[in-house]
Structure 1
Amino acid sequence: MRYRRRLRSRIIISFTLFGLGLTALFAVASLYMRARLEDQLINRTLLREVANFVEFKRRNPSPDAAYKISLFDVDIFGARKFANVPFDAQKYGPGVYDIEDFDGDGKLRSYKLAVYKSDEYWAFLRFDVGAQKLSAQQLLVVLAGVVACFLALSWLIGRWLSVRVMSPVSDLAARLDRFQRTGLREPLAPHFADDEVGQLARALDDYADRLTDLVERDREFNADVSHELRTPLAVIATTTELMIASDLPDKARDRMKRIERAVRQSTELTDALLLLSRRERRGPSNGETTDVGRVVEQVVDVNRPHLGSKPVTVSVVNEEPIVVSAPSSVIAVALGNLIGNAFKYTQQGEVTVIVGHGRVAVEDTGPGIKAEDAQRLFQRGVRGDAGGKGAGLGLAIVLRLCELYGWKVSLAPRPQGGAVAVLQFDRRSSGA
């Protein structure tokens, strides 16, 4: 499962990042526009001043004519004095340049250099931009402080908004938690406004109503099945027992015994399915135990009709007694599916049921199964490649019973042919 932050934290972080990004973008844009506009203004001013100075000297060639500019340092050279231009300045063409140089005190200073060149004059105008750079640094510090303030403000607003936004959700979660702990359900929708949380509360109320109705109908169905189905089965079992005890022809007696086995199997299956539907595990709490060996013999006897006239030998090997804390009906249903499948799919050879060491193993010489299909056969509706009739529910029921009681069931191919099914009981609920 991927880690996700709490919704409230995500709201705070999102709002804080949004505020930080917005103020940082504003600060960067302000710095960029200030630098760009200032640079354009200075460049235009420098070019205009140097051009004005050259024009002044053209009109006033006398050395005594003074052109005073307080903010600039200007050097101008006539056509016959171009050789006097400092070597470092000769490389610059007309335009404005950013340069750094040391002043008379040995301090490094930043300048703007405006260059004017014509056939008559070369002029160089320098403007000290140190004050502007200092101003830019101060502006950067101020904007950093503004960003920090906006960041803190965004965090506070985000925290306040998260509390307001998440308050109904937290209230809904608290009411659901209280219902889960106490089991006392009350409608949720009346406690919330007609917004998204209110819609969620109404949806939860509707779902709870439908779930309660479903559980009630399931409980009523279980009670009806428990009463209405067990009663006729008990009547059939009693009547069959009386008829078997009476004087009947052998053929009729065999048929009555077959009915008796079918009734017993139906009763056991009904009990097991009711336990599954209720998720009820009967056993150690009520002291109910079952001798597995005796159940195996009964299950083998009940499923013998599946063999018919096939040349199949059935043997039951009791290596040691096993007593399990579970109803006999549950064990009979689980073993009935495993043994019944072995009887159905084995056309010739033998079926061996081994009881002992906390488990029951059913080995047969049938067509066998593929190793890759062994686990898939326990899925609902899946049948093996051996064919045969059925809905593929028997092994799924066995797996559900094992999950309910903590047992393990497995299928595997035998090296010598056929398959082996193993029902392993929980050591804590079985013993000799």
Structure 2
Amino acid sequence: MASDTASLRRKPDSVASKGERRRTPYRRRLRSRIIVSFVLLGFCLTTLFAFATNWARMRVENQLVEDVMNRNISEYVRRYYESPDRNPDLPVQQMRARLIKPDKFEALREEEPDWYEFKDGLYNMGGVDERGERYSYKLAVRKTPDAWAFLAYDMTDSVRGGQQLNRALFLSVLVFSLLSLVLGWWSASKVMKPVSDLAARLRAYRGGTSEPEPLAPRFPDDEVGQLAQALDDYSSRLTEVVQRDREFNADVSHELRTPLAVIRGATELLLTRPGLDEKVLQRLQRIQRAEQQCSDLIGALLLLSRNERGQGSSNVARVAEQLLDAHRAQLGGKPLELHLDGERDLVIDAPEAALSVALGNLIGNAVKYSQDGEVRVHVGTNAVSVTDSGPGLSEEDAAKLFQRGYRGTHAGHSQGGGIGLSIVSRLCDLYGWQVSVRPGGARGVIATLTFSPKPL
């Protein structure tokens, strides 16, 4: 059972892929992506602006303070050298000056060790006063052999103002991020409304008329309108293809059924004649069976092309017995026995044409690839299995089961295009059946056709 055996595993794979699509994690919708983009843009721009504002404030403030302190400490030292006998006055608000003469240098080491180590320049200083409050100041240092000058600029108010500005900037970031969220929500609703309308109209056409109303006139001439126009063009071409396909199927069905009806009538008429030769009788019976197989196959293919389930019920054991009888007449002396066992009253909701095609392909492959031994058909409570004594199932065949057109490694020069089991797989998809193939042990293959349970 190698050539068409390939089709029997495709259905479980296809079912699994559909299940995987259903279990695909929820992906963020386009509307949500637009909102998130607005929020991120607003947050990033506001944060960047707040950072730039704070950096510019600190840079400008430090530059101004340092310029003022450098000028004042230079002026302070200059005044000292003009009148070394007295401490110079420097009446600048927020600044305090201190002059240390050489005899006090060592005392400064004990009083302010940091000041003692400082070189000429500006330093940021801070501490905690007697009330437990933090204070900050900038210290300008200018050291000469005759005196050390220190100039302190109170930065406490400036630091507090910077902290207040930082809190204001942080609040601004939050406010503008919320505004970005509101703006993004509103913009996404406006932008996505035409797309949502288009999707809603497309869903409304699902299962509707064969000639849906055009979409493009209901949308403006923008990107969504162009998409609607493209969908209208695609729908028009698809409708034409479907219509041609339906007409072709109807024409083929009619043209094939007419000669088959003639063959059936002529065969039945000839079979009623008495005294027929045994060989002639066998030929007529074979023609009759071939006509019935062709009729069943045409009916099944038409159902597949229309994706419609046929109405009716079938006794699985009776159909299997008919198929086995047909194959017994075609063994041609091959040492092969065909047996049927199991349940006799299993009835399924499907026409005999569909069941005959599906089960007939399984039995046909078993008979074709079994040169001796037996082919056993077992009817269970809700399934039917076909066990053969053929060469078995190779790894290559197992990997390519149910590929349309695949002919197995044991096919040799046998006739067939490798599409029989592909038809079986499609019938299983249509009726909700399941088909599987597994090795039968030392040799042979077991093909199982499981039917869908009857609705309660």
Fold agreement, TM-score > 0.5: yes
| Alignment partner, residue 46 of structure 1 | 69
Contact 2:122 2:139 in 1 (8 A): yes
Structure with higher RCO (Cα < 8 A, 6+ apart): 2
Structure 1 residue 165 displacement after superposition:
1.4
For 1:391 and 1:424, how far apart are their aligned partners in 2?
Answer: 25
Number of residues of Structure 1 aligned to a counterpart in Structure 2: 426
Instruction: Go from structure 1 to structure 2 and tell me whether the alpha carbon gap of 1:52 and 1:374 turns closer, same or farther (over 3 Å shift).
Output: same
| Alignment partner, residue 14 of structure 2 | none
C-alpha distance after superposition, 1:121-168 (max 9, x if no partner): 211111111121122123223323433443333233323322321222
| Alignment partner, residue 60 of structure 1 | 83
SS of the aligned residue for 2:180 comes to helix
Structure 2: 5+ residue stretches without partners = 1-23
| Alignment partner, residue 364 of structure 1 | 388
In the alignment, structure 1 residue 271 sits paired with structure 2 residue 294: no
In the alignment, structure 1 residue 245 sits paired with structure 2 residue 272: yes
The one-letter code matched in structure 2 to 1:261 is: R
In the alignment, structure 1 residue 122 sits paired with structure 2 residue 148: yes
Query: What is the root-mean-square deviation of aligned Cα atoms in Å?
Result: 2.5
For 1:70 and 1:397, how far apart are their aligned partners in 2?
Answer: 99
For 2:26 and 2:420, how far apart are their aligned partners in 1?
Answer: 40
Contact 1:109 1:130 in 2 (8 A): yes
Structure 1 residue 375 displacement after superposition:
7.6
In the alignment, structure 1 residue 36 sits paired with structure 2 residue 63: no
Instruction: Go from structure 1 to structure 2 and tell me whether the alpha carbon gap of 1:394 and 1:429 turns closer, same or farther (over 3 Å shift).
Output: farther
SS of the aligned residue for 2:299 comes to helix
| Alignment partner, residue 218 of structure 1 | 245
Structure 1 residue 267 displacement after superposition:
0.8
Contact 1:371 1:412 in 2 (8 A): no
For 2:47 and 2:99, how far apart are their aligned partners in 1?
Answer: 45
For 1:196 and 1:215, how far apart are their aligned partners in 2?
Answer: 28
SS of the aligned residue for 1:235 comes to helix
Contact 2:73 2:151 in 1 (8 A): yes
Structure 1 residue 268 displacement after superposition:
0.9
For 2:127 and 2:386, how far apart are their aligned partners in 1?
Answer: 99
| Alignment partner, residue 186 of structure 1 | 213
Which range moves more in the overlay, 173-182 or 417-426? 173-182
| Alignment partner, residue 171 of structure 1 | 197
Contact 1:321 1:356 in 2 (8 A): no
Normalized against structure 2, the TM-score is what? Answer: 0.86
For 1:259 and 1:71, how far apart are their aligned partners in 2?
Answer: 119
C-alpha distance after superposition, 1:362-404 (max 9, x if no partner): 2221111147845842332233221233222111211222232
C-alpha distance after superposition, 1:171-204 (max 9, x if no partner): 2123223333754721111122222111110111
For 2:454 and 2:130, how far apart are their aligned partners in 1?
Answer: 98
The one-letter code matched in structure 2 to 1:179 is: Y
Instruction: Go from structure 1 to structure 2 and tell me whether the alpha carbon gap of 1:72 and 1:349 turns closer, same or farther (over 3 Å shift).
Output: same
The one-letter code matched in structure 1 to 2:233 is: D
| Alignment partner, residue 13 of structure 2 | none
SS of the aligned residue for 1:412 comes to strand
Contact 1:375 1:411 in 2 (8 A): no
Which range moves more in the overlay, 256-265 or 369-378? 369-378
The one-letter code matched in structure 1 to 2:420 is: G
For 1:205 and 1:252, how far apart are their aligned partners in 2?
Answer: 60
Indicate which of 273, 283, 298 corresponds to 1:255. 283
The one-letter code matched in structure 2 to 1:363 is: T
C-alpha distance after superposition, 1:184-229 (max 9, x if no partner): 7211111222221111101111121122222222222232233221
SS of the aligned residue for 2:401 comes to helix
Equivalence map 1:300-315=2 (5 Å):
300-304=324-328, 306-315=330-339
| Alignment partner, residue 378 of structure 1 | 402
The one-letter code matched in structure 1 to 2:151 is: L
Percent of residue pairs bearing the same amino acid type: 47
SS of the aligned residue for 1:354 comes to strand
For 1:321 and 1:418, how far apart are their aligned partners in 2?
Answer: 28
In the alignment, structure 1 residue 295 sits paired with structure 2 residue 319: yes
| Alignment partner, residue 324 of structure 1 | 348
| Alignment partner, residue 254 of structure 2 | 227
C-alpha distance after superposition, 1:239-281 (max 9, x if no partner): 1222233354433333232222211111111111111222222
Normalized against structure 1, the TM-score is what? Answer: 0.90
C-alpha distance after superposition, 1:49-100 (max 9, x if no partner): 1122111111111227544333321111233432342342212121111112
